[in-house]
Every structure is written in C-alpha cells, then in structure tokens.
C-alpha cells in the first residue's frame, strides 16, 4: 500500500445541496419543442446504445434532423438498440425514418480508438457536436483496461481524451463554418467529482494499485478528469473560437451505470429518475442557446440548469497538470 494517503477536500454546504438537487431537480428546462432542427449537422454520442446515451440519441433522432452516430463496444447491442429506436421514434415522434448509425468504439483499449475514429472520418466531412457520454461506475475492485489503467480512469477519461484528439481536426474545421456556440464538445462528468482527490488526480498512484481508496472516490477521480478536460480543451485550441467545451452531471438516474453499486444502489433506486430525464440534461448542454462561447468549462446539472464544479478542479495549475497527465498516457497511441 502507498504510504501517501489521498486527500479529499471537505464537502461544502453548496456542494451537498447541489448533489441533493439531483434527486429533486424540477422539470426539464429545454425539451424537444425547443430544439433546433440541426438539419445538415452531424452529432456523435458515445455509449449511445443504452441508458442516458440511448435516450439522448433517440431524442436527437426523433426531434431533430441531425445525423447521429452511436459509438459503442458491442455491435450486436448497438444495432439492436437502433432497431428499437426506430420503433420508438415512430411511435413517440410519428417519424418513420431515423438517421442513426453505429461505429464500434472500445474506450478501454487505446490501440483500437484510431481505427474507430478513422472509420467515422472516412464517412463524414463535418462534425458539429460530440457528447462524451460513455462511461463506467464502481466496477469490481481491480478492474483494468487493456493497457492496465484503472477501468474508470481509462474508460471515462483517458479513452475519450485520445478519441477527441483524432476528431479535433474535422470538429474544429466544421466549427469555423458554424455560428458561435453551435459546435460543442460535451464532457459527461458527474456530481461524483466532488469526491475526487485534491487536485482531481492522485498522481502518486492514479490507478490505485497500491492505495486503498473507496470505490466512489476512485470514480470521482475519473469524473474530475472530465471537468478539467472541459476547462482545458479550449486553451489548447485557441483557433476554435466558435466551440463551447463544457461538462455536466446528467442527474440521479436509473441506468446500467448502477449495475455495480450493489445494495446501496438498490436502496437509492426509489429516488432515481428515468434515463430519459438525463437526456434533457445532456441536450441542454449540447443545444441550449442560453450557453455561449463565454461559458467555457461551465457545469450543467439536471435537468437543464447551471451548477458549479469544485473550485480546485477549475484552478489553472490543476487543470493544466491533469491535461498534461492525460496527454502523456495517450501520446504513444496517436
């Protein structure tokens, strides 16, 4: 075990209240009737075959004219999800055809991500919105990615970091022809970021191989990374003046994300909301005209309100260090 113990900032009253608000957030503030048409636009939703990602992709398919790409690990499950989506969109939106496509993506294996991005880039000449939705929460202790990273850090933060790098050139090129704020990169974080180590990442042992740390706090580290990615992305792409990079907590939701939470998750299930509500959070972040290019790194909470992130995760020294750390993990796979 590591002799150095991770420090976690004390929970503030404001943070406690924001976390509590997840359970009683009020109605969505931006719904299908408010969404722009997105005609001619291309949107990526990772993890769009299940849970809130599925609902986000379905809402886009049903209420807009966007071309939607679902990136997910399982082709079988994703194609089944698209078939189900077709039926539900016809029933719920009275729309008989959807423009939804699948590309395989395994965020837990960095050696495969370039091929996934290249497949997309071979098919499209524009990219308007990226929603980094895919993730895992509190898997069995010791779970790792193909490269040996702690599974949550690898899947929730390192994998998306690499994926975004491959998409950046087309994404930024597209943004130059869009109006300010139409191009967005949405990092799906969580209120769990409040439980992360001080500074966001426990650098002495980021994979917690030799450090005993509660599983929810390890999850929090991966979500703190997403917060810091949203803050740092614009700094590394100053030419992308029309892009908004932001992060969110989709809400307290009933999704597959809770499959590893055990008894605690079952106890809390009565307070959780349907995954569809979480789609309203994600699409508020992706589409709301009230968010502008001046709002880089802003935090959206359920179901379409502006919240706040823990202060140290917005500190430039910490966000820069985290970005450099993530860059180092992916550099050999570029």
Closest CA to 250 of 271, 281, 296, 221: 281
Residue 258 has pLDDT above 50, yes or no: no
Residue 93: CB atoms within 10 A of its CB come to 15
Higher pLDDT, 256 or 59: 59
> Which single residue is written with the structure tokens 């590893």?
260
Residue 3 has pLDDT above 90, yes or no: no
Q: How far apart are CA 41 and CA 64, in angstroms?
A: 10
pLDDT at residue number 7: 94
β-partners of residue 144 are 150
pLDDT at residue number 273: 82
Instruction: Return the CATH class of domain 15-333.
Output: alpha beta
- pLDDT tier at 48, thresholds 50, 70, 90: very high
The catalytic position among 219, 254, 277, 280 is: 219
Residue 33 has pLDDT above 80, yes or no: yes
Q: What is the mean pLDDT of the chain?
A: 94
Residue 271 has pLDDT above 80, yes or no: no
Average confidence (pLDDT) over 327-332: 98
- pLDDT tier at 259, thresholds 50, 70, 90: very low
In sequence order, the 6+-apart residues with CB closer than 8 A to the CB of 328 are none
Q: How far apart are CA 64 and CA 91, in angstroms?
A: 16
Residue 281: CB atoms within 10 A of its CB come to 29
pLDDT at residue number 253: 85
E strand residue ranges, the chain: 42-46, 67-72, 100-104, 129-132, 183-188, 243-248, 253-254, 273-274, 299-301, 305-306
The predicted-structure confidence for 305-325, as pLDDT tens digits, reads as follows 999 999 999 999 999 999 999
Average confidence (pLDDT) over 8-25: 95
pLDDT at residue number 260: 46
Residue 101 has pLDDT above 80, yes or no: yes
Whether 223 is catalytic is yes
Residue 1 has pLDDT above 60, yes or no: no
> Which single residue is written with the structure tokens 């807009």?
64
**Burial class for 280, CB neighbours closer than 10 Å (0-12, 13-18, 19+):** buried
Asked if 278 and 255 touch (Cβ cutoff 8 Å), the reply is yes
β-partners of residue 273 are 253
The catalytic position among 41, 165, 223, 277 is: 223
pLDDT at residue number 254: 79
Report helix, strand or coil for 155. helix
The predicted-structure confidence for 105-132, as pLDDT tens digits, reads as follows 999 999 999 999 999 999 999 999 999 9
Residue 263 has pLDDT above 50, yes or no: no
Asked if 129 and 156 touch (Cβ cutoff 8 Å), the reply is no
- pLDDT tier at 202, thresholds 50, 70, 90: very high
- The residue extents of the domains of the chain are 15-333
């Amino acid at each position: 075990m590591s002799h150095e113990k991770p420090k976690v900032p004390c929970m503030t009253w404001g943070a406690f209240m924001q976390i509590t608000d997840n359970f009683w957030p009020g109605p969505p503030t931006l719904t299908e009737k408010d969404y722009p048409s997105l005609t001619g636009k291309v949107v990526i939703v990772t993890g769009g075959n299940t849970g809130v990602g599925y609902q986000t992709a379905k809402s886009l398919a049903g209420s807009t004219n966007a071309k939607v790409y679902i990136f997910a690990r399982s082709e079988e499950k994703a194609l089944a999800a698209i078939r189900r989506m077709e039926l539900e969109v016809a029933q719920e939106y009275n729309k008989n055809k959807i423009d939804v496509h699948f590309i395989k993506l395994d965020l837990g294996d960095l050696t495969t991500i370039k091929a996934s991005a290249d497949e997309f880039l071979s098919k499209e000449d524009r990219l308007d919105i990226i929603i980094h939705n895919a993730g895992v929460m509190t898997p069995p202790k010791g779970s790792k990615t193909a490269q040996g990273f702690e599974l949550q850090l690898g899947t929730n933060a390192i994998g998306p970091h690499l994926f975004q790098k491959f998409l950046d050139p087309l994404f930024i090129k597209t943004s130059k022809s869009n109006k300010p704020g139409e191009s967005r990169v949405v990092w799906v974080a969580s209120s769990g970021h409040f439980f992360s180590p001080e500074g966001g990442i426990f650098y002495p042992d980021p994979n917690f191989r030799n450090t005993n740390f509660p599983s929810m706090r390890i999850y929090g580290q991966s979500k703190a990374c997403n917060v810091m990615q949203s803050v740092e992305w614009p700094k590394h792409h100053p030419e992308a003046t029309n892009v908004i990079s932001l992060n969110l907590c989709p809400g307290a939701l009933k999704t597959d994300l809770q499959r590893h939470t055990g008894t605690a998750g079952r106890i809390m299930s009565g307070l959780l909301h349907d995954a569809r509500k979480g789609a309203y959070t994600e699409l508020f972040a992706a589409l709301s005209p009230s968010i502008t290019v001046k709002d880089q790194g802003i935090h959206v909470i359920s179901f379409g309100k502006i919240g706040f992130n823990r202060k140290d995760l917005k500190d430039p020294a910490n966000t820069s260090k985290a970005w450099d750390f993530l860059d180092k993990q992916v550099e050999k796979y570029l």
